Amino acid sequence: MNENTLIALLITLFAGLATGIGSLIGFFARKTNTKFLSFSLGLSAGVMIYIAFMEMLHGARIELGEVFDSKGRGDAITVLLFFGGMILAGIIDRLIPEAENPHELHNVEEMNGDDNQHHHHSNHKLRHAGIFSAIALAIHNFPEGIATFMTSYTDVGAGIAIAVAVAIHNIPEGIAVSVPIYHATGSRRKAFWYSFFSGFAEPIGALVAWLVLLPFITPALVSCIMAAVAGIMIYIALDELLPATHYYGENHIALYGVFLGMAVMAVSLLIF
């Protein structure tokens, strides 16, 4: 294992295990800081949108144009892969029943019992929802792990930016897994570990990318993956991150986060 591979694996591990942070928020906090969470989600969306369009998609378009010795053909393949990535992310989301979808967000107050949710659902049903949320999150995080690893392997700076953005949006997903588990079992410890381990799908995705894709890596394959990953990232930003800010009711603060996320990425790409 070379240094690039180890760094990429560690970056992906960090992104995946951020689901545990969501549980820790419920474990220790008594109230959701909606302003901070909305700003963070907006920041994550801004980073993803900017780097997808200005770095990954642009780079893939140039590289594929050179590989196929035709700008028009390279552009067409880039566009197809980009929308293919969006379609793949959408299919994964559609296969997950809405009731068990971890993107149905929750507040810390729910974990603390402030909404008396446990009076309206049986423990069995809540445990079922929590387990399926963990499975759904794992399925969703698997391709994210591949994307984060491949990006980190080819460009550590871009990989770190993506990992941070993924980690931020994994936090409320961690809460979504832990809330029903907590209400079903009454155990914050179980709620934490279910959420924490559901994030392991991302480093598993990274391992698959390392063992399966890496031996066949070429500039053309990297560019194809980057174009598809750009589509996945745009889907995540538009379908998950920005709508989530509406749930917390801090739309303008989230928009400031989007602007700052884009600005930070713009400056970092100019400098590095």
State pLDDT tens for residues 74-96.
899 999 999 999 998 888 777 76
pLDDT of residue 117: 45
Query: Stretch 108-136: mean pLDDT, rounded?
Result: 55
pLDDT of residue 116: 46
pLDDT of residue 120: 44
pLDDT of residue 31: 63
Pick the more confident residue, 110 or 189: 189
Task: Give the side-chain half-sphere CA count within 13 A for 77.
Answer: 22
Q: What is the pTM of this model?
A: 0.65
State the residue for tokens 């959420």.
Answer: 195
Pick the more confident residue, 224 or 189: 224
**Residue 211: pLDDT over 70:** yes
Query: Stretch 104-114: mean pLDDT, rounded?
Result: 56
Enumerate residues 6+ apart whose C-beta is below 8 A from 254. 38, 39, 41, 42, 45, 242, 245
Q: Closest Cα partner for 89 from 244, 230, 246, 261?
A: 230
Query: Stretch 246-269: mean pLDDT, rounded?
Result: 82
Tens digits of per-residue pLDDT, 12-46? 888 888 877 777 766 666 565 677 777 877 887 88
pLDDT > 70 fraction of the chain, expressed in percent and rounded: 74
| Token pair recorded at residue 18 | 């951020």
Q: What is the mean pLDDT of the chain?
A: 77
Radius of gyration of the chain from its Cα atoms, rounded to whole angstroms: 19
- CB count within 10 Å of CB 31 equals 10
* Number of folded domains that form the chain: 1
**Residue 168: pLDDT over 90:** no
Q: Which domain holds residue 75?
A: 3-271
